[in-house]
Structure 1
């Protein structure tokens, strides 16, 4: 009786299974379990809506995943192939104006501090002892007076603005020519 059951289950496993199309059948050559163990698919009941009729619900956003390994810094290699001469001129002009103003302010502050400390009077006394000319008095403020020093610092600041702007613009042109010939400056940037 057992041999007959084994033969029957083997025949059922190789028996053609209908696929739903008329006249076509698929055969299965592997038997894993009897057909009775599989539960039949149940049709949807009236209480349960079909998949196409179910309302679409939005899922709550998932929390950010915790990194299991430390993130390594990205490295990007870039090449500065061209510098715009107009932008180089504008930036150098603004920076040189700022440096010129700083030079004038520093000159005024330094001269005021030296005068308050009495440095000019001491220099007058030392030079008067060295020269020892009784009829002529030496005054260093004739050479380094406040108006002379501030006027000289303003002139130096204006010349500085003109020279730095011209040099930076010329340097941008020269960089563009040299980078066209041999390539630009290569930078490696990292993401921390």
Structure 2
């Protein structure tokens, strides 16, 4: 800081020129952020708007999550099948059907609920789940981008704790 004498002989202090955040090209200063001022030393809060979602990243994330859900479907079907088989539920249902319909019935419950058919059906449901969830999430991202362009997106307030 420099001092300059005044006409009365008293010294005054010059303040340095404040730094700007404008680029060197001489453009105007940056716009202010959506930061909400805080009182005291509390956490900072920032208000943001999610105005666009990248459909490619949504598709990748939805694919990985739907693969995980498909694996959980297959594992859950196996656990349920082993639980019901160990409780002899399938044989009791088969005995009930033979008592009601008769012994000459071509209906064999145990053939329909075999382990291989149950796991195959659960795998088929898991594969269909992967395709449907991935496609629906990607279409949802495209639709969100269209709607967000019209209304401005979703506003979110984030805090720094």
Using the size of structure 1 for normalisation, the TM-score is: 0.60
| Higher CA-based Rg | 1
* Distance across 2 between alignment mates of 1:138 and 1:169: 44
* Distance across 2 between alignment mates of 1:124 and 1:144: 10
Using the size of structure 2 for normalisation, the TM-score is: 0.71
* Distance across 2 between alignment mates of 1:124 and 1:164: 36
- The one of 166, 177, 181 aligned to 2:135: 166
Q: Deviations over 1:76-119 (max 9, x none)?
A: 11110110000000000000001001101111111011101111
Bigger strand fraction: 2
Question: Counterpart in 1 of 2:75?
Answer: 105
Question: How large is the Cα RMSD of the aligned pairs?
Answer: 2.1
* Distance across 2 between alignment mates of 1:91 and 1:159: 17
Q: Deviations over 1:48-82 (max 9, x none)?
A: xxxxxxxxxxxxxxxxxxxxxx8423221111011
Q: Deviations over 1:122-148 (max 9, x none)?
A: 1112222221x2434753111111111
Question: Counterpart in 2 of 1:127?
Answer: 97
Question: Counterpart in 1 of 2:160?
Answer: 191
Deviation (angstroms), 1:190? 2.1
Count of residue correspondences:
125
